[in-house]
Structures are given as C-alpha cells and as structure tokens.
Structure 1
Amino acid sequence: MSAAKPAAKPAAAPGAGPGPGPGAGRPHLQRLRLLRAFAPRLLAGLFFMGLTVAVELLYPKALSHFIDNIGGGGGDWAGRFGLLMLAVLTLQALATTLRYYLFESTGLMIVTRIRRLLYGALIRQPIAFYDKHNVGELTGRLAADVEVLHDTLTMGLAISLRSLCVLLGAAAMLLSISPQLSVVLLVCVPLSLYLGKRAGGLLRGRAREIQQRQADCGKVAHEHFTNIRLVHAFGQHAGARQRYHAATAAALDAALGNVRLLAGFRGVSSLLTYLALLLTLWLGAGLIAGGRLTVGQLVSFVLYAGMVSASAGALSDYWGDWMRSIGATERVFEIIDSAPEGEGAAGAGRRLQGRIAFDGVSFAYPERPGRAALDDVSFAIAAGEKVALVGASGAGKSTIASLLLGFYRPDAGAIRFDGQTADALALADIRANIAIVEQEPSLFSGSIGENIAFAVAGRAVAPAEVEAAARLANAHDFIAAFPQGYDTIVGDRGVQLSGGQKQRVAIARALLRDPRILILDEATSALDSASELLVQTALEQLMRGRTTIIIAHRYSTIVKADRVLVLRQGAVAQQGTHAELLRQRDGLYFQLMENQLAMYRDSA
C-alpha cells in the first residue's frame, strides 16, 4: 500500500498577463476541451488501459487460488497454471506498451498544439502588450508553462482513470473476500483522499508565486544576455551575478515553501498507509485463526488493499498535479483568449496614394496615461511629399510613426489615409503600404536574403527579386563579396554586419516592399561619413515617388525634405520649408539647427 501524495514538481516559468479571458472561470473544462481533437488516439489508449486493469485485478485472485490449491491438483497443474499466467502477463505487457505510447505521444501533440496557439496569440498581441511584458518572461511561458500540461492532460489523466477503475474494482474484490477487513480501508482511504484534495488546493494557490519567481529569474537572465556587450564594457559581471542570485534566492524560497507542504502531507499519508496495513494483518490473523479466512485470501486481500491505497494515492497525486497545472497555466489561456482576432489579418490588398492627415490627434502611452505624447496635433502631407519631423527627444516624432503604423490608436482626433480614417481601413492594408527604416535596423539571425525577403508576406520571394532590391540599395556588392553571398548568416540582430551594411539591407527590404509611404527613423544618424554617403544614395532611390516621413536631427538629412514639421512637447510648434524656418531667428527650428549650421560653416 503506497502513500497518497500530490505532485512535487515545481511550477513552470511565467509572468503577469492580461485580465481574465472568456475561459478563466472554467479552467477545468477549458483544458479538457483540448482533448477532443485527439479522441481516436485517446479512445484506443483507454481500450488498452482497460486490458491492463483487468489483468491487474485478476492477478491477486489467481495468486490466492494458486496458494490455496498448491499441492491439491494433478502433477502438471502448476505447469498449466504457469503457462496461462505467462500468456496473460505477455498480453498485459503488450497492452501496457501500446497504452503508454498512445498517451505519451498524444501528450506531445497536445503540448505542440497549445504552444502554437500561444505563439499565434502572442504574435497577434498589440504593441502595448509588449510595452508591459518582458520578452524573456513571454518565451518562458512558451517553453515551460505549456509543458506543465503534458503529463496532466494525457498520461496523468490516463493514470487517474486507470487508478479509479482499479480502486473501484479492487474495493469490490475486497468486499467479496472479507467485509469485516474492508472496514479499515473505508476509514483510511477517504481520509487520504481528503488530505490529497486539501494539499492540491494549497498547491494551486502557491503555483502563481512559484511561477512569478521563476519568471523573474528568466527576465534577469534575458536582459543581461541581450545586453552582454554592455555588461562586458562596463565590467558588470559581478552585478549581473548578484541580480540573478537574488532572483534565484526568491524562487528557491517559494519552492522550499512548497516542498515543506508536500513533506508534511507525505508524512501523514505514510503513517495512514502503514497503520492500515498493520490493522489489516492483525485482524486477518484473527479471522484465519477462527477459520473464516484462508491464507490465500488474506494474501489476495493485502494485495487488493495495496491496489486501493495506491490508486487513492494516484488520484490524490493527479488532483494535486491538476490544481498545480491550472495555477501554472492560467496566464497561458488568458493570453490565448485575449488575443485580437483581426491583428495582422489580410485585407483587401488596397493600394494607397500616400496622402496622410492628422486631425486634432492626441495620444498618451498606456503606461504613462497622465503624460500626453501628442497634444491636438494637426497636419497634412500630400502624396509623394517628403516631410521631416524635427524636435528634441521626447517631442513626439517617433510617436507619430507608431500611430501611422497602427501600433497604437489615438485617444482623440483621427488619422486619415487618402481622406479616409484609419478606422475605416483594414490595418493590414495600411501596413502593406508602409515601410520603415530605423536607426538600428531590426534584423533576424538568419541569412541576408531571408532578411530582405521578409518585406513580402504571403508569397515566396524569388532570389532575383531580392538581388534587384539589393542592387538598388547599393548592397549587392558587399553581399556578393561574402563567401556565402545572400546565404550569409547575419547573427543575432545583425551583429555580423557593420552599421552601414545593416542599413543597406534594411533599405533593400523596404525597396522590395515597394511602399507608398516610407518612414525613415534616424536612418543615417549612427553612420560614419563614408557609410552615410552610400546609405544616402540608396535612400534617395528609395524615396523617389513615395510619401516620406523623415525623423531626423542631422542637417544633411533635413535639407532634403520638401517641408519641415517642428515638434515641441507633443505639439506642432512650426512648419514650413527649411529656408523659411531658418529665416525665423527666434523660432525653435533655428535654435535646433544653429549649432549644426555653425559646424557646417566651419567645415566649409
């Protein structure tokens, strides 16, 4: 007879998520719904499980018969009995193999499906979601949190069903052998199940804390690995270790609290188990002495009692695992439920002319609701016009770009494309007409060709298209000089390329997209003079015939614009051509450009 015990596995990595989704109030049914798609495999597994349960229940009965008739049969009776048992046990072994394979493989399939659902939900989340959540925390959910369901939804569920069948079958056999002895188990087993349920409830409550502590560990590690060059440059190895040690110490404290709970429960369960065994043997000896029980029946009773106790323990085990998995994966299903359906969906493929208008737009970032990033901003940009956004850091330049891309919605006012409000157009259609080149281009760790082809969604991009875009961006020559050419791996965030090379890859990507609206976000500010010349030539090719919004500080970039919008604290302070604004000596634009103009005069 084994002790009933809840699961001792620590909860998986996690983090904070959005508010409860539609399924948050029914977590049990929400998890079980995932099994429907795999019903045929699970039914086959249940069939083989039924065979193993039948053999398991017959085994003590057969052993009792053998003990009580040992020497009472013919000479070959023991041989025939042994062959029969060998055949039955071989059948059980085969059924056990198939049962295990079906449930375990189905568990892997379910985990893969949930991981895909979660990834799809995460990738559709608005940008505001990522402003609030650490990337390391989210990848931890994707990896570890989902894995918690593997055992509880398949193998664990199968074991609990098998344990329930064995429990009921063994209890029936116990009553048929000796109702008097069965009284002992009628007290001990329900008490063990009750303790398991209580422990399972406490485990669910502790799962969130363990999750969050482990998420904090992942967050600290992710931040330092992402900024590893900064850690080395500033000699912050010891500081990084201290932060991680503090995070792991908090995680260890939470886990140790869980272990203390489990240790106490197992001690009490163990005491109940052995007390039940001791009472059974003591009462059984008295029944044998009175001739009301045979030795074989007592042996089979003890075996059946062990089955009942073990099955009760397995059910308590599973209940603890189930409660823990619900606590550990609540956030996963909240994210899946809360994912916007239309984000990134294909639109009608509408081609915009490129006219843009901001009509009294006000906006504050969700994380800073009390501070306006834009305050009643109004301006219009004609199709094909090049407009520079100028202002001090925090004036609202990048916010305008983010609103154009639909990363956020304005709190007041309207954004119009070709005279229609952004809300009246499909977000996918708007984004399909926009390309952005950033100061620090976002590159994936794959090949140069893959990074350029990333511009086009929904179809395969021919190598000739990639090469044509690279030639226009003045990138083909340096790409062709690499031994692997367009198959050259750029490394994490393009670390294998220089700043100018990354910019030209980003420009080639924008050219391949063939946008009507182009956003240049400080695209040359971090380059040396030689690289800037090559990139500027590529940018001129990219801007030709396109509505272009240039976020810039450099004089050399701003003078190429048809018009300049000067922003101050989220409002438009000035607008006009470069020459017009320079004539306003008391204006903000002249103040911003004065130092750069002096530098250009000195160099001349």
Structure 2
Amino acid sequence: MAVTVLIQLAYPKALSYFIDNINVQKDMAWFSSLALIMLAVLAVQAVAATARYYIFESTGYMIVTRIRRQLYAALIGQPIRFFDKHHVGELNNRLTADVEVLHDTLTMGMAVSLRCLCVFIGGVVMLLTISPALCLMLVFFLPATLIIGKMTGKVYRKRARLMRDGQAECGKVAHEHFSNIRLVHAFSQQRTARARYAGATEHALSLSVSSSALFALFRGGSSFLVYLALLGTLWFGARLIGQGVLSVGDLTAFILYASMVTEAAGAIGEFWNAWMRTIGATEWIFEVVNSDRAPGAAKGEAHGEVRLQGNLAFNDVVFSYPERPDAQALKGIGFSIAAGETIALVGASGAGKSTIASLILGFYQPDSGSIAFDGIEAHAMPLAGIRSKLAIVEQEPSLFSGSIFENIAFAVAERGVTLDEVKAAAALAFAHDFISGFPDGYDTVVGERGAQLSGGQKQRIAIARALLRDPRILILDEATSALDSASELQVQRALDTLMQGRTTIIIAHRFSTIVKADRILVLDQGRLAQQGTHAQLVAQQDGLYFQLMRHQLARAGAQPVAA
C-alpha cells in the first residue's frame, strides 16, 4: 500500500515536470527515457496493487471465518432459555448474512480507506509545497466533507441495526415455513406463507430504501463540495498564473493533488459511514460473543467425572420459564426416586411433566428449591458430568440429516465410536436388522429430521443412541405415543431392554405404558397431586389419576367407568 501511494503521489509532480519542460527538451531520447522510467514505475505499482489486494482480501476472509466460528461457538454454548427467545431462522441469518457484512468493510473498504488516508496526508503535504496560498481554498471544503460524514455516520449506525433486524425477521419467517413445508402443503397455506414473507421483506425494504436515500444525500453533498473546491482552485490558480507566481505545470499538479485530497476525504467519510453501518449491523454478534450472559453454557461445558447410582430428588422446586416469569410451571414440587426405580409422570397437558424432564437435563435452573443426584445438589456438580449419565428418548426423535451411524454415535461426545459399538447398540434396540436391509447399511443418510425413515425406525435409532450412552437415568418422553400397534410392540421391546437396571422416568398418557411403572406421580397444574402404584391410585376413585385414566381403564377392561 505504501508503494502504491508513493507512486500515486509522484504522478502529478512528474506531470508538472513534463509540462514545464516539454518545450525546453528537444531530444527524443529524453522522452524515451522518461517513458521507460514511467513504464517501470507502472509495473512496480501493478505488482504492489496485486499484493495489496490479495493480502487484504485473504485477511478479511480469515477474520470473518474466525468471527463466524466464535459466534457459532458462543451460540451453541448458550443456555436453552436463549433459544426460547431467539428463533433458529434468525440465528441462522445472523451467522451468515450479518457476519458477511464485515467482509466488505474489513477487506477492500479497509484497504481503500487506509490508502485514502495516506493519499490525503501526502496530498496535503504536496499541496503546501506547491502553493500555500491555493491551499486556503481547500480549508473550508475538506473539513466540511469530513464533518458531514461523521454526522451521517451516527444515523447510519442506528439504521443498520434496524436493517439487520429486518433481515433476521425475513430469515425467521422463511425458516419457519421451510421447516414445516409438509404442513404448509397439507393445508394449502402457500399463499399465507408468501404473504408473511412479503410482509417481512416489505418492512426490510422500507428500511433499506430510507437508508439509501440518506446515503445518496451524503454522496450528492460530498460530490458538490468536491467540484466546488476544484472550481474555486481553478479560478484562484488562474489569477496566480496571471501574476507570474505559479506555472501552468504547478497549477496542473495542484489540481491533480487537490482532486486526490478531496476524493480521499470523501472516501474516508464514506468509509466512516460504511463502518458505522457495519458496527450497527454486527453489534448483536459481538454482544453474544463477548457477553457473560451465558453462565449456564459455561457451566455446561465444564467437564468433570461424575459417578451416579441413579438416585434423584426434587426438593420443593419452584420454576417459571424465563419468557413467562409470572406463570409458575412448577409450584413446590418435591419427590424422590431410588436408583433403578421406574417412575411414570402423569397429568393433563401443561401439568409440568416435560418441565421436570427439562430441569433434570439442566436446561433450566429452579427459581427456588433444589435438585439432587445421589444426595448431592446439582449446582455443586459439573453439568456436563451429570448429562453424561442421562439420556432421553423423545416422542419425535431428534435426528440429524447425516448417516444412521452418525446419529447413533452422537451419543458419545468424549471419544470416537467404533462401528462395532454402534452395531451392538442397534442390535439391543432391535434396529440392526432393518438397518442392514438398507443398501448402504449404517451409512444410509436419513434426511432432515429422519424424513427417510418410518416412525418406528426413527424411534429405535434413538433408543440405540441412548443404549450406546449407557445412562444411569433415562427419560422417556411419550416414546411410543405416536406409533401404530405393530411399531409400538417393536419399540417397546427395545425400551424394555433399555430400561433394565436404570432409573427411568416415563412421561406418558397410555395405560399400557403407565401400568408398568413401579410408582406413578400425578401432576396437576405444577403441583404433585398424588403418588403411588397403579393399584393404589385406581382405588382412589375420587382422585385425579382415576379421572384421567378411567376411559382407558374401561377400554382395557381393568376397571368399570364410574358414573
């Protein structure tokens, strides 16, 4: 950059020398020598410009890649409450589009501004050496350009943040509909989807257009000041030539230097506005990367060896979701589970069953009360160590779009997993046979969220994943409720294998699943209403459990329906 700037600053002086000596030098050898020198200088400038461009561009890509990695690491480590507040589509947009905004500013924008700053300083020095009197014409115009750039930069920063928020909202709407594309088509809601996206993009467009208008006013005003400065320079320069104080070559050089300086000043002001836009667009990124608002994430990554027998206790736990602080999901829940015991959580929707599972997994922390594993309070143990002894099988298993092997091996984070280990877990989950029947076997790609597999197949892969983890405490969240009878039978066999010797917490509504539990906890609006065995609770016909189960009991022929 220094080389290119020095050569650029030498041009007007060389041109001045050429103009003032063109009538003096009559020998063509002088012109040829000057042309060869200029050719060599141009070659050096071309090499320097190429190197400058490559270095700035590649460095910008490296910086942006590093920031993207840092942002992803910060996002993936955020506690679950963070993802309750921020939509996945929004985060995706932040990770891609928002980070990309930095590239242009950090590469050619930064390179051009630094070069313009050097040209500006060098040009001012050259102007003063040619004619201090002419420089008076620029004293007003240059500061005015810089001041206008600074004033508009503040506005750009605010507008840029609003624009990025608008773009993030567009990403959120698009991701939401793409993620539920089957539902959109099933209910013929393409028109609604288009309307919602059009509304989001219209808002983003209005912000962009208003910012463009402001930017256009700045460019127009800066351009007017530049040409006004040059016009004034020409007028005053012509007077100085008439007085014999200045030569034609010096005036030509002065105009060229003045053009450089005014152009550089405009570019610096423009870069300042671009930098303010970039800061406004990326403030959220650096807030996430640099903030300490994720203590749960830091705790979750703190590894430590934890040995659990499988005893679990809730001690007067009160909890409200961060987004609904006024509505208590759990209201003084207290119970204990012995190692190896199977517990069923029963209750109407919203009673707090899944909330208990989320607290056990450490997704949230109780507002008051405590959770203890083997008599030790959870907050005194490393969260990653606790989670290494837990596993969950959900109603709709969460599968990645990779291979079956990758989805089962996902259970173990601390080391690599061999194919034999995965096959052994799949065999215990009664999944090996259907996996082997695929042409690609364990390398079969399951598609997004396991779209290429049936419900029973997905469930058995999730069970194989849990078996490979070898947990001490197992959570089954409606693990068979979405399956047909044949698939349920196969999955239940796999679950029976998985549950052997483990503390098991079953969230279920089906009588066939609940009746197998050693003990049943009945929840009602965040409180523990009843607990006991199936026989004990059925005998209490005025109790909540009987009211919840009486229709299923009647169908099963286990108990007549009370009038």
TM (norm. structure 1) is 0.90
Match of 1:275 among 221, 225, 228: 228
Other-structure match for 2:187 = 234
CA contact (8 A) 2:341 2:503 kept: yes
Q: Deviations over 1:137-179 (max 9, x none)?
A: 1111111111222233343233222211111111111111122
CA contact (8 A) 2:425 2:465 kept: yes
Match of 1:489 in 2: 445
What is the match of residue 55 of structure 2?
102
The aligned counterpart of 1:319 is 272
Q: Is the 8 A contact 1:125 1:343 kept in 2?
A: no
Aligned to 2:287: 334
Structure 1 residue 180: Cα displacement = 2.0
Match for residue 161 of structure 1 among 103, 106, 114:
114
Per the TM alignment, residue 93 of structure 1 is displaced from its structure 2 partner at its CA by 0.8
CA contact 2:553–2:559 (8 Å) conserved in 1: no
Distance in 2 between residues matched to 1:263 and 1:52, nearest whole Å:
30
Q: Tell whether 2:18 aligns with 1:66.
A: yes
From 376, 380, 384, the equivalent of 2:336 is 380
Letter in 2 for 1:334: E
Q: Shift of residue 71 of structure 1?
A: 4.1
Structure 1 residues 62-97: Cα deviation after superposition (integer angstroms, max 9, x where no partner): 111111112423330011111111111111110111
- Counterpart CA distance in 1 for 2:492 and 2:260 is 79
Identify the match of residue 237 of structure 2 among 280, 284, 287.
284
Q: Distance in 1 between matches of 2:466 and 2:417?
A: 14
Instruction: Report 1 or 2 for greater relative contact order, CA contacts < 8 Å, sequence distance ≥ 6.
Output: 1
Residue 503 of structure 1: how far off its partner (Å): 0.2
- Amino acid of the structure 1 residue aligned with 2:238: A
**Which residue of the partner structure matches residue 297 of structure 1?**
250
Secondary structure in structure 2 of the residue aligned to 1:344: helix
Give, in whole Å, the separation in 2 of the partners of 1:214 and 1:414.
42
**Structure 1 equivalent of residue 161 of structure 2:** 208
SS state of the match for residue 373, structure 1? strand
The CA deviation string for residues 505-550 of structure 1, in whole angstroms up to 9 with x for no partner, is 0000000000000000000000000000000000000000000000
Kindly indicate whether the alpha-carbon contact (under 8 Å) linking 1:565 and 1:572 is maintained by their aligned counterparts in 2: yes
1:522 counterpart = 2:522: no
Q: Residue 34 of structure 1 aligns with which residue?
A: none
From 518, 527, 538, give the equivalent of 2:494. Answer: 538
Determine the C-alpha separation between the residues in 2 that align with 1:201 and 1:586: 68
Name the SS for the 1:375 alignment partner: strand
Structure 1 window deviating more from structure 2 (291-300 vs 586-595): it is: 291-300
User: Amino acid of the residue matched to residue 22 of structure 2?
Assistant: I
Which range is displaced more, 160-169 or 562-571?
Answer: 160-169
Asked if the contact 2:161–2:282 (Cα under 8 Å) also holds between the matched residues in 1, the reply is no
One-letter amino acid matched to 2:478 = E
C-alpha separation in 1, matches of 2:121 and 2:535: 91
Deviation track 1:169-204 (CA, whole Å, cap 9, x = no partner) reads 111111111222211111111111111111111111
Letter in 2 for 1:533: L
Whole-Å separation in 2 of the counterparts to 1:249 and 1:546: 55
1:150 to 100, 103, 108: 103
Gaps (5+ residues) in structure 1? 1-48
Distance in 2, matches of 1:81 and 1:596, equals 101
Equivalent-residue separation in structure 1 for 2:163 and 2:304 (angstroms)? 46
Q: Stretches of 4+ moved more than 3 A in 1?
A: none
Q: Which residue of structure 2 lines up, in the alignment, with residue 57 of structure 1?
A: 9
Cα distance in structure 2, aligned partners of 1:346 and 1:451: 24
Q: Which moved more, 1:593-602 or 1:451-460?
A: 593-602
Q: Does 1:177 align with 2:135?
A: no
Aligned residue in 1 for 2:203? 250
- Please, which moves more after superposition, 331-340 or 448-457? 331-340
**Counterpart-to-counterpart distance in 2, 1:313 and 1:267:** 11
Amino acid at match of 2:387: R
- Which residue in the other structure is 1:13 paired with? none
Residue of structure 2 equivalent to 1:511 = 467
Q: Judge conservation of contact 1:167–1:307 (CA < 8 Å) in 2.
A: yes
Paired position in structure 1 for 2:522:
566
Shift of residue 264, structure 1, vs aligned partner: 1.6
Q: Return 5+ residue gaps in structure 2 as ranges.
A: none
Are 1:365 and 1:373, in contact at CA under 8 Å, matched by a contact in 2? yes
Aligned-partner Cα distance in 2 for 1:601–1:583: 15
- For 1:520, give the aligned amino acid: L
Conserved 8 A contact 2:300-2:382: no
Q: Secondary structure at the match of 2:411?
A: coil
Rounded Cα–Cα distance in structure 2 between residues aligned with 1:55 and 1:343: 56
Match of 2:178 in 1: 225
Residue pairs, 1:382-461, within 5 angstroms: 382-461=338-417
Residue identity opposite 1:52 in structure 2? T
Checking the alignment, whether the CA contact within 8 Å between 2:550 and 2:559 is kept in structure 1 is: no
Q: Which amino acid aligns with 1:563?
A: R
Q: Which residue in 1 is equivalent to 2:326?
A: 370
Kept in 1: contact 2:146–2:269 (CA 8 A): yes
Distance in 2 separating the partners of 1:347 and 1:104: 39
Greater CA deviation, 196-205 or 527-536?
A: 196-205
1:337 and 1:267 map into 2 onto residues whose CA distance is 38
- Structure 2 counterpart of 1:139: 92
Structure 1 residue 476, shift from structure 2 partner: 0.7
Counterpart amino acid of residue 562 in structure 1? D
SS at match of 1:369: coil
Once residues 243 and 603 of structure 1 are traced to their aligned partners in structure 2, the CA distance between those partners, rounded to angstroms, is 51
Q: CA deviation at 1:412?
A: 1.1
SS of the counterpart of 2:505? strand
Partner of 2:34: 81
Tell me whether 247-256 or 495-504 shows the greater mean CA deviation.
Answer: 247-256
1:459-505: per-residue Cα shift (whole Å, max 9, x none)? 11101111110010011111111111111111111111110000000
How far has the Cα of 1:289 moved from its partner? 2.4
Matched to 2:374, the amino acid is D
Query: Matched residue pairs, number?
Result: 556
- Write the distance in 1 (CA, Å) between the matches of 2:373 and 2:533: 23
Normalising by structure 2, report the TM-score. 0.97
Assess if the C-alpha contact under 8 Å between 1:124 and 1:343 holds in 2: no
Looking at structure 1, the residues matched to 49 and 493 of structure 2 have their Cα atoms a distance apart, in angstroms, of 70
Measure, in 1, the Cα distance between the counterparts of 2:109 and 2:468. Answer: 51
**8 Å contact kept, 2:226–2:263:** no
Q: Indicate the SS of the match to 2:321.
A: coil
Alpha-carbon distance in structure 2 between the residues aligned to 1:344 and 1:376? 25
Contact 2:537 2:545 in 1 (8 A): yes
- Rounded Cα–Cα distance in structure 2 between residues aligned with 1:379 and 1:202: 57
